[in-house]
């Protein structure tokens, strides 16, 4: 069965994570994503691994799965000519390089759109295409800082903290994938290509839209950093008798009778300290203390099971090993197996969207450095003698040692 993006070709000139994960998402849904690296400038993500205990680089494979890889020397005119030939028949070009570098390499929008007016040109930037800092570089932690999320993360009296994963990079990547799909849809209706920008900074504002808009509506009110999960007893983290943590998330009066019944505290329904939402907010420290004492009498899993069976909202705080073993993740393919050419299959995080008729999948691990260079050039119409001449010139292929 044809996947939704089968027949779409993407030229991927990205490194690290932002932009790179965006094209991986397209590749999972059938797009032919060709990752372009320089002979002396491979994606630095190739050198990262999660813990140094495995030769498989989780970082690179996560962000470059299902792609093909070629090596082009874009500092040479012949290498730029190859890029332009590939761009002529491409649907999408994506990069997170700065504009001046793209211009120098002949990979700027003006150049590629003249070659192919239908091309969708996506630039994953740091701070957006306009403004005084449009040409500054950025990194995940800088965007988390400038976008405000670090100001509300961490303990009240502690230092601001970044989120524990590359949050800005990944949100920026998903924003880019969303933008590319919209641009492809527009082109499908009109035939018109265009340039788009999805920045790290914009992604951070987007993911905090409600919070930042609330601040704008309320004279720049800044939400304080809060202990645990905040000041609400019914939207909070707790610990079971086994030392494992779990959360409940049930703000609102409609949940309160069920909570009281599950805890064997029906008298709280008429207790003026806790009977209304306003009263529970005013007396949150006392109620959290009551909850702490009760929840210490059963394991975290027992409480989650009890609450879930009563149609109340609760979940375990899973570590990564527990995430991998969670049957919900396994049954939905959120954790999936991927074939490995030189060993047994490996488990990876799968696709976040389930399609009833055109399910995507991770088709392969990331390509080796320059693995598909000849294959892609042959498809583009180059002959073997021409490829050999380009290789001898240093315009394509991995440098010979």
Q: Return the pLDDT at 51.
A: 57
Q: With 60 as the cut, is the pLDDT of residue 348 above it?
A: yes
pLDDT at 2: 85
Mean pLDDT of the chain: 93
Q: What is the pLDDT of residue 12?
A: 98
Q: How far from the centroid of its chain's Cα atoms is residue 44's Cα? A: 18
Q: Give every CB contact of residue 33 below 8 A, 6+ residues apart in sequence.
A: 10, 12, 23, 24, 26, 27, 66, 67, 68
Give per-residue pLDDT as tens, 314-334.
999 999 999 999 999 999 999
Percent of the chain with pLDDT over 70: 98
Q: Which two tokens stand for residue 256?
A: 């309160």
- Entry pTM: 0.91
Alpha helices in 310-372 (DSSP H): 320-325, 327-331
Annotation marks residue 219 as catalytic: no
pLDDT of residue 61 exceeding 70, the answer is yes
128: nearest Cα among 205, 197, 209, 204: 197
Of residues 400 and 341, more confidently modeled? 341
Mean pLDDT of 270-290: 96
Q: Which domains can be identified in the chain, with CATH numbers?
A: 9-209+332-393 (3.40.50.10540), 235-324 (3.30.1540.10)
Distance, CA of 240 to CA of 294 (rounded, Å): 9
Comparison of pLDDT for 49 and 344, the residue scoring more: 344
How high is the pLDDT of residue 192? 97
Helices and strands (H and E) in the chain: how many: 17, 11
229-258 average pLDDT score = 94
At 224 the pLDDT is: 77
Kindly report which listed range (3-17, 39-53, 247-261, 359-373) carries the lowest average pLDDT score. Answer: 39-53
The residue-averaged pLDDT of 145-153 equals 92
Query: Is the pLDDT higher at 224 or at 243?
Result: 243
More confident residue, 219 or 144: 144
- Give the model confidence (pLDDT) of 376-392 as tens digits: 999 999 999 999 999 99
- Catalytic-labelled residue, pool 91, 108, 169, 197: 169
Confidence of residue 49 (pLDDT cuts 50, 70, 90): low
- Helix spans in 129-241 (H): 140-146, 167-190, 200-207, 209-217
**Burial class, 264, CB count within 10 angstroms (exposed 0-12 / middle 13-18 / buried 19+):** exposed
Which pLDDT belongs to residue 71?
A: 97
Alpha carbon distance 197, 206 (integer Å): 14
The alpha carbon of residue 263 and the mean position of all alpha carbons in its chain are separated, in whole angstroms, by: 38
Task: Say which residue, 152 or 106, is predicted with more confidence.
Answer: 106
pLDDT for the residue numbered 50: 56
Question: Torsion angle, CA of 377/378/382/386, rounded to 10 degrees?
Answer: 80
Give me the pLDDT at residue 103, please.
96
What pLDDT sits at residue 55? 60
């Amino acid at each position: 069965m044809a996947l939704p993006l089968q027949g779409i070709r993407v030229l991927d000139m990205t490194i690290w994570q932002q932009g790179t994960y965006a094209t991986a998402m397209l590749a999972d849904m059938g797009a032919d994503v060709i990752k372009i690296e320089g002979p002396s400038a491979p994606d630095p993500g190739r050198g990262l691994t999660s813990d140094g205990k495995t030769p498989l680089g989780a970082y690179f494979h996560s962000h470059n799965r299902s792609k093909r890889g070629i090596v082009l020397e874009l500092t040479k005119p012949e290498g730029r000519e190859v890029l332009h030939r590939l761009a002529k028949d491409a649907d999408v070009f994506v990069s997170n390089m700065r504009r001046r570098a793209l211009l120098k390499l002949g990979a700027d929008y003006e150049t590629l759109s003249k070659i192919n007016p239908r091309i969708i040109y996506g630039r994953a930037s740091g701070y957006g295409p306009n403004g005084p800092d449009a040409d500054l570089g950025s990194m995940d932690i800088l965007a988390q800082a400038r976008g405000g999320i670090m100001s509300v993360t961490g303990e009240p009296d502690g230092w601001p903290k970044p989120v524990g994963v590359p949050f800005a990079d990944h949100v920026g990547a998903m924003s880019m994938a969303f933008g590319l799909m919209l641009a492809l849809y527009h082109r499908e209706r009109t035939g018109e290509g265009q340039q788009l920008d999805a920045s790290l900074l914009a992604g951070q504002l987007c993911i905090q839209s409600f919070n930042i808009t609330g601040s704008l509506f309320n004279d720049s009110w800044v939400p304080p950093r809060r202990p645990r999960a905040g000041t609400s007893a019914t939207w909070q983290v707790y610990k079971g008798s086994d030392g494992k943590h779990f959360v409940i998330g049930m703000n609102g009066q409609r949940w309160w009778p069920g909570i009281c019944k599950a805890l064997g505290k029906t008298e709280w329904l008429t207790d003026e300290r806790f009977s209304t939402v306003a009263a529970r907010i005013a007396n949150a420290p006392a109620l959290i203390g009551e909850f702490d004492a009760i929840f210490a009498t059963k394991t975290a899993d027992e409480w989650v099971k009890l609450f879930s069976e009563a149609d109340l909202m609760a979940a375990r705080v899973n570590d990564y090993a527990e995430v991998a073993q969670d049957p919900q993740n396994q049954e939905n393919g959120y954790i999936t197996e991927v074939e490995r050419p030189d060993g047994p299959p490996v488990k990876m995080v799968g696709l976040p969207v389930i399609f009833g008729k055109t399910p995507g999948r991770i088709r392969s691990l990331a390509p080796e450095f320059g693995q598909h260079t000849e294959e892609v050039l042959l498809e583009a119409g180059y002959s073997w003698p021409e490829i050999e001449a380009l290789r001898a010139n240093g315009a394509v292929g991995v440098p010979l040692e």
